[in-house]
Amino acid sequence: MLLVAFIAAQAIGLLAGWHFVAQEVSVVDNPADIGNSLFLFVYILVGTIVILLLLKFYHGKKLFLLIELLLEFSAMQLFLSMFASELVALVGAALMLGIRLGFPQARGAFLLFAASVVGALLGSSLDIIPAVILSLMLAGYDAIAVFGTKHMVTMAKGLDERGAAFAVSLKHKKESIQLGTGDFVMPVLLSVSALKLSTLDAVFVVCGGFAGLLLMIYVLERHKGYWPALPPIVGGALLFLLVRVVALP
């Protein structure tokens, strides 16, 4: 299921990303500006600090649920707006949110969808160089946050206790593996950014990310515990993209 979920996220992300790129949808003024990489990285760090502070001083669950639902609603509304009017998109997103609330077991699917759309939006907003820089910074940060400061582990445990892990829990063989939404966002970001170059570039990025995920699963099967997913996924995606550029110019 984990591998299927990864491919599904990429498929949704590339579909949304193709439309975003065609419509020149972007959250930044200049997609080629590498300063956007630093801005988004700092934005993510600030978001992480806010979540850690909430976990320390806020002991309820409703606020985290509200944040999750807002993320899912925004992603669904943005996705539907590519194919329908704003009003239809809003109504459709509201109906889907009702389904999400009525069927809590579908939470993972909705989070996966939201992560795919967010990744597609960011990929459309960044050209390949800024996208590569951002992915490398986040992969390095992920490793430090898990192995070094361990605050990512603290955050994952704290969110899980509040029922708002912002992660997709999936079965692989007999084990349950959790991937954070960011672990889906970044490979989609890279594949959509590569899509601006060519479809073949995007395919190589997807295959590389998939290979990196396989490596992570291999490690997890032999060494239990918390492991950063972004380094192998991002590393695989960028390695395959490099092979594509060098071997198939």
What pLDDT is recorded for position 59?
85
What pLDDT is recorded for position 30?
95
Question: Are 136 and 33 in contact, with CB atoms under 8 Å apart?
Answer: no
What pLDDT is recorded for position 139?
96
* 227 pLDDT higher than 80: yes
pLDDT band of residue 169 (cuts 50, 70, 90) is: low
What pLDDT is recorded for position 188?
98
Least confident range of 30-34, 126-130, 193-197, 222-226: 222-226
Give 20's Cβ-side CA count (13 Å radius). Answer: 32
SS (H, E, C) the chain: CHHHHHHHHHHHHHHHHHHHHHCCCCCCCCCCCCHHHHHHHHHHHHHHHHHHHHHHHCCCCHHHHHHHHHHHHHHHHHHHCCCCCHHHHHHHHHHHHHHHHHCHHHHHHHHHHHHHHHHHHHHHHCCHHHHHHHHHHHHHHHHHHHHHCCHHHHHHHHHHHCCCCCEEEEEECCEEEEEEHHHHHHHHHHHHHHHCCCHHHHHHHHHHHHHHHHHHHHHHHHCCCCCCCHHHHHHHHHHHHHHHHHHCC
Residue 131: C-alpha distances to residues 121, 177, 196, 246 (Å): 12, 27, 12, 19
Least confident range of 141-145, 161-165, 169-173, 219-223: 169-173
What pLDDT is recorded for position 176?
64
* 195 pLDDT higher than 70: yes
**Two structure tokens written together for 103:** 């069927």
* 45 pLDDT higher than 90: yes
**What torsion, rounded to 10 degrees, do the Cα atoms 44, 208, 131, 144 define?**
40
Q: Which tens digits make up the pLDDT trace of 59-87?
A: 888 898 899 999 999 999 999 999 889 99
**Two structure tokens written together for 90:** 């809003």
* 175 pLDDT higher than 90: no
* 149 pLDDT higher than 80: yes
Question: Are 227 and 216 in contact, with CB atoms under 8 Å apart?
Answer: yes
Other CB atoms closer than 10 Å to residue 27's CB: what's the count? 12
* 116 pLDDT higher than 90: yes
What pLDDT is recorded for position 18?
96
**What torsion, rounded to 10 degrees, do the Cα atoms 230, 47, 105, 227 define?**
30
What pLDDT is recorded for position 218?
86
